[in-house]
Structure 1
């Protein structure tokens, strides 16, 4: 019974900066890691358990996870900005600037991954900041279109040799689009967008 109560417990609302950061962190990690694991298992087929048990492949997966995490932050960050923008009024740029700081603070929660290295990790941070800054230069995209500029980059990060990937790009792109739409629905259900916007501007 306690397990069922925990499973059906309502997810906490998102009403402040900290709760927003936690949501961005969890969903960014989820969207990229789930795709990496599921694609790798599908490609390995019956040999997936053997493959995941190999040290070399485990290291490749670890590198892929950390390479892809900033892409997840970029997608989730842009999605969040689209939800907050109607509440920002004339202070749209100020809200975006604060939202970028929130996303970067999530990035900074983690030490430099050994598989990426200091230079690569700091470069990923710079690219993340640049991607989010560009969000202010255009109208909000449809949620399903947000992954479009990053889908090929994400697909190239899969820990499967490129000769074995076949024509799977469309599958990965559709996975990102559907997953982001689902995450958007959860965000809309949980967030007090006006309160979060006011918190960011405070």
Structure 2
């Protein structure tokens, strides 16, 4: 009964900056990690358990997860802007600046991954912040289009040799689109958009 209640318990509402940051953190990690694991398992086929048990491959997966995390943050951060912009009115630039600050605070929760290194990690942070800054210069995208400029970079991070990837890019891009649309729907269901907008402007 406890397991049943846990599985079907309503997810907590998002009403403040911390709850928003926690949502961005969890969903950004989910979208990139799920894709990496599922793609690697699909490519390995019957040998997936053997492959994932190998120390070298496990390190490659860990490297890919951290390398892709800033991309997940950028996509989820832009999705947050899509949801909050209608509530921001004339303060839309100020709200976007605070969304960027929230996303950067999530990035800064984590120490530098050893496989990435300080310089590359800080460069990824700068690129992510710049990408989100550019969001303010155009109308909100359809959520399914948000992954488009990042999909190739994400696909290139897969811990599978490029010669073995075949023609899988379109599948990976579609995965990102569907997953981000699901994240958007969950955010809409859980967020108190006016309250979060006010909290960001305080």
Structure 1 residue 198 displacement after superposition: 0.3
Tell me what 2:132 maps to: 132
Structure 1 residue 131 displacement after superposition: 0.4
Tell me what 2:118 maps to: 118
Gaps of 5+ in 2: none
Tell me what 2:22 maps to: 22
Gaps of 5+ in 1: none
Structure 1 residue 42 displacement after superposition: 0.1
Tell me what 2:60 maps to: 60
Alpha-carbon distance in structure 1 between the residues aligned to 2:88 and 2:160: 43
Structure 1 residue 48 displacement after superposition: 0.3
Q: TM-score, normalised by structure 1?
A: 1.00
Residue 181 of structure 2 is aligned to residue 181 of structure 1:
yes
CA deviations over 1:88-121 (Å, ceiling 9, x no partner): 0001100000110000000000000001000010
Tell me what 2:161 maps to: 161
SS in 2 for 1:84: helix
Alpha-carbon distance in structure 2 between the residues aligned to 1:88 and 1:103: 18
Alpha-carbon distance in structure 1 between the residues aligned to 2:14 and 2:102: 14
Q: Across the two proteins, how many residue pairs are aligned to each other?
A: 202
Q: TM-score, normalised by structure 2?
A: 1.00
Tell me what 2:90 maps to: 90
SS in 2 for 1:148: coil
Alpha-carbon distance in structure 2 between the residues aligned to 1:92 and 1:5: 39
Alpha-carbon distance in structure 1 between the residues aligned to 2:97 and 2:88: 12
Structure 1 residue 82 displacement after superposition: 0.7
Structure 1 residue 46 displacement after superposition: 0.1
SS in 1 for 2:39: helix
Alpha-carbon distance in structure 2 between the residues aligned to 1:20 and 1:35: 23
Q: CA RMSD in A?
A: 0.3
CA deviations over 1:12-58 (Å, ceiling 9, x no partner): 00000000000000000000000000000000000000000001000
Structure 1 residue 172 displacement after superposition: 0.1
SS in 2 for 1:110: coil
Tell me what 2:104 maps to: 104
Alpha-carbon distance in structure 2 between the residues aligned to 1:5 and 1:50: 35
Tell me what 2:191 maps to: 191
